[in-house]
Amino acid sequence: MPKLGMEPIRRAALLKATIDAIGDHGSLEVTVAQIARRAGMSPALAHHYFGSKDDMFLAAMRHVLTLYGAEVRMALAGAEGPRARLEAIVRAGFGPSNFRPEAVSAWLNFWTMARQSPGAARLLRIYEGRLRSNLLANLRPLVGARAPAAAERIAALIDGVYLRQGIRTGEPDPAQAVHLVLSALANETGETPQ
Amino acid sequence: MPKLGMEPIRRAALLKATIDAIGDHGSLEVTVAQIARRAGMSPALAHHYFGSKDDMFLAAMRHVLTLYGAEVRMALAGAEGPRARLEAIVRAGFGPSNFRPEAVSAWLNFWTMARQSPGAARLLRIYEGRLRSNLLANLRPLVGARAPAAAERIAALIDGVYLRQGIRTGEPDPAQAVHLVLSALANETGETPQ
Amino acid sequence: MPKLGMEPIRRAALLKATIDAIGDHGSLEVTVAQIARRAGMSPALAHHYFGSKDDMFLAAMRHVLTLYGAEVRMALAGAEGPRARLEAIVRAGFGPSNFRPEAVSAWLNFWTMARQSPGAARLLRIYEGRLRSNLLANLRPLVGARAPAAAERIAALIDGVYLRQGIRTGEPDPAQAVHLVLSALANETGETPQ
Amino acid sequence: MPKLGMEPIRRAALLKATIDAIGDHGSLEVTVAQIARRAGMSPALAHHYFGSKDDMFLAAMRHVLTLYGAEVRMALAGAEGPRARLEAIVRAGFGPSNFRPEAVSAWLNFWTMARQSPGAARLLRIYEGRLRSNLLANLRPLVGARAPAAAERIAALIDGVYLRQGIRTGEPDPAQAVHLVLSALANETGETPQ
DNA sequence: AATGAATGAGGATTCATTCAT
DNA sequence: GATGAATGAATCCTCATTCAT
């Protein structure tokens, strides 16, 4: 059974299992054993590959942000003009791979993790920075000097919608979430709001 | 040494200690012993008064919401007209007793607690409902049929601003937070946005 | 069953159990659980009273040295004149409570512990210092300027005899040990050696 | 990559690494992985060559004794007469290859190992026997019937000096150690002591 | 009312050892 | 010959909770 080159496979399996476990459980109080079992291996192996539970959590968070970043980049690639790009950013944030219940729940927990783990805080600030600068760059052509404040409002709104999904029961409704943010965006850009 | 009528005093001390401990620690992983020590009593007594750690956490959350509700009610009492009442609601949310770092941190953690504890989820939905209905009632005279969507946007924005404070370092800036939300409100009501 | 004032009793029982366990087992690789069971309590209680395994080991070592110190002091109390005092020191070192197999074994292990634990090293240096100064004070009247070197030789010899007992099988023979050291002492003081 | 005749090289590297690791660490609580890494190979290979950790430790101890034996034999080869031979024995014991900090530390730990491992105990008894018979053979011509007791005293003293080095900080001072033992020897043989 | 005493049930982590390649 | 992969079996330590006093 033991083969060579298992490391990347095992690591990926553990990261996915970590996110799912945190998402399912709704908190960071998940045991390494639970995660390892989910990933089909022993707790000892999880430690072998990640060193510690904290490191594994941090890697999982990084993974989530990487996925998010990729999704945003991909969405931006196909968008022309600031209006379309803003929409792309919003849609990417609520895209199917980010807006799953487990991902939202995991995300929420990573957020609280940032209060204790400097590494987690740093990751979160990176995400925040990217989101703000993406919004800002595309709002500027539309609203000029009001762009910084508008970007701040939209960013906070996105986070708020995400957060509130965390306590909703049932499946997330991406369409509604996107619509909510886009209508706020319309307010900002002076188009007919709804 | 045992005194009469200590119960309410002890309970209040424990609730305050719980919130502070969670806030300081930045997570729900606080031990009953830590909280009890903070409140100047033994862990056994904490159990005596609250039955279990979970119940104590729930009571603390209820306490936070009670304080918040009181603050909102008081702010509304002195406000005339929908515009002023909306401002009062916003200001109350970022008032000094709610927007302290520990309270924000505790709040954030209660939010994640809602994923596991039905009781916590219920409390959170009550808060949400109140916020929405308060916003809605006062937006209706200003924006008519657009009120429900606008209320939803403002509510999500408030939560987002709160959330983002959680990862900021340093003291919260209530004035800035209030300004951010009020400017979104201005967008909604068609006043000159800024 | 739970009574007040158990702490000193429990601590004493744990210290004794620690020494015996190390002695029996012949190494520091004894589990807290084994020690606690020996002392008739749960491992958790052992941690409650000593904080950590290392602290417990250190306390046990301190205990051994305290016993040794008391035995020496008592022996010195009844001895008149340098010759008698030297004999008292030697006899105390190989007295029944110090020269038991478990105590010798524990002692030997504490010795190696000193390589890693600064606390243990400090304790050992205190013991060494006391032994040397005791020997020195009483050798000076007998051998004058040669006292420092003689004290060093006798001290090393005492430790050596102890050490060698550690690998002997069977019961220690205090009489023989004492005789060995006293004959070396006779060599030093110029009496007819044997 | 696998070469022929690697076995003796690998084994020797592991033995040296074992002694150094124990010496550095100051205890037997060294992991096979640490030792193997020090020797530049995988833990699995260490097991391949020695079967088990205990066997590896035992082999390392044997190695130390072999080195010691060789050093003694070499020293004896160049010594004429009992007086010179006694000095040679003492000098060999505190020679540079035996009296290094790591070796002393390892030696001390092997000593405690003897309490648990019959194999280690046997090795130690062999060492003891050789030392005693070497001393005895050369003391007899000098002190006659007092030789057995004298040999015992000198042997214990040598072990004691070694032991005490274990808790000294800083480099061992072979000259001083030798001098200490030789002066005791002078006491025994009736030469002018110092 | 209040607490010291006590523990059972975990949980993270380590490590010697095995095995397929 | 050599190793990466893998794990079972500990081990220390923590903590909510109970209970007699």
Hey, of C102, C143, C163, which one would you mutate to test binding to chain D, going by the most D CBs within 10 A of its CB?
C163
User: Tokens in use for A46?
Assistant: 């999880």
Distances (CA, A) of B38 to B14, B18, B19, B32, B47: 8, 8, 11, 10, 15
Q: Which residue is nearest to nucleotide E21 (CA to C1')?
A: A3
Q: What is the DSSP letter of D73?
A: H
How long a stretch of residues is chain C?
194
**pLDDT the model gives residue B165:** 85
Chains touching B (3+ CB pairs < 8 Å): A
Chain B residue numbers with beta carbons less than 8 Å from the beta carbon of A153 are 157, 180, 183-184, 187
Q: Which of residues 9-68 of C touch strand F (CB under 7 A)?
A: 30-33, 43-44, 47-48, 51-54
* pLDDT score at A7: 95
**Closest Cα in chain C to D107:** C112
C180/D105 touch (CB, cutoff 8 Å), yes or no: no
Question: Which residues are within 8 A (CB) of A182 and not within 5 positions of it... i.e. 6 or more apart?
Answer: A87, A90
* Chain C: touching chains (3 or more CB pairs < 8 Å): D
Residues in chain A: 194
Q: What CA–CA distance (Å, rounded) separates A170 from D71?
A: 80
Per-residue pLDDT of chain C (194 residues; tens, 9 = 90+): 456 899 999 999 999 999 999 999 989 999 999 999 999 999 999 999 999 999 999 999 999 999 999 999 999 998 999 999 999 999 998 988 888 888 888 888 988 898 889 999 999 999 999 999 999 999 999 999 999 999 999 999 999 999 888 777 778 899 999 999 999 999 999 775 44
Contact, D3 CB vs strand F, < 7 Å: yes
The total of other beta-carbon atoms located within 10 Å of residue A104's CB is 22
Q: Which of D54, A20, A159 is nearest to B168 (CA)?
A: A159
- Closest residue by Cα to residue C34 from C8, C55, C9, C14: C14
| Subunit contact B113:A157, Cβ cutoff 8 A | no
DSSP states along B47-93: HHHHSSHHHHHHHHHHHHHHHHHHHHHHHHHT--HHHHHHHHHHHHH
Identify which of D144, D140, D179 has the alpha carbon closest to the alpha carbon of residue D161.
D179
3-state secondary structure of B118: helix
Q: What is the pLDDT of residue D1?
A: 47
Shortest CA–C1' contact from D42: which nucleotide?
Answer: F3
Q: Which of B194, D39, D176, B38 is nearest to D50 (CA)?
A: D39
> Which two three-digit tokens encode residue C23?
């002695």
D157 to C158: CB separation less than 8 angstroms, yes or no:
no
Q: What is the pTM of this model?
A: 0.91
For the CA atoms of A146, A149, A152, A155, the dihedral, rounded to the nearest 10 degrees, stands at: -40
Give the pLDDT confidence score for residue C1 in this predicted structure. 47
Residues of chain A with Cβ-Cβ distance to B121 below 8 Å are 167, 169
* C183–D114 CB contact, under 8 Å: no
Q: What are phi and psi of B81, to 5 degrees?
A: 85, 150
Q: Which tops the pLDDT comparison, C55 or A4?
A: C55
CA C97, CA C90: separation in Å to the nearest integer? Answer: 14
Question: Quick one: tokens of C156?
Answer: 């090393």
Give the span between the Cα atoms of B149 and A187, in whole angstroms.
Answer: 12
- Per-residue pLDDT tens digits for B117-174: 899 999 999 999 999 999 999 999 999 899 999 999 999 999 999 988 877 777 888 9
Instruction: Report residues 40-59 of A contacting strand F, contact meaning Cβ closer than 7 Å.
Output: 41-45, 48
The chain D residue lying nearest C24, using CA atoms, is D115
Query: Which of chain C's residues have a Cβ under 8 Å away from the Cβ of D149?
Result: 180, 183, 194
- The pLDDT assigned to C151 comes to 97
Output the pLDDT for position A89.
Answer: 95
CA B110/CA A27 separation, integer angstroms: 11
Given a cut of 70, the residues of chain D with pLDDT beneath it are 1-4, 192-194
Would you say residue B3 has pLDDT above 90? Answer: no
State how far the Cα of A160 lies from the Cα of C133, in Å rounded to an integer. 74
DSSP string, D37-57: HHTTS-HHHHHHHHSSHHHHH
Q: How far is C4 from chain D (nearest CA, A)?
A: 39
- Provide the residue type at D100 as one letter: R
Query: CB count, 10 Å around CB of D87?
Result: 18
The answer to whether some atom of strand E lies closer than 7 Å to the beta carbon of A44 is yes
Helices (H), D26-168: 32-38, 43-50, 53-77, 81-93, 101-113, 118-143, 147-167
Q: Are C159 and C104 in contact (CB under 8 A)?
A: no
Q: Is C30 helix (H, G, I), strand (E, B) or coil?
A: coil
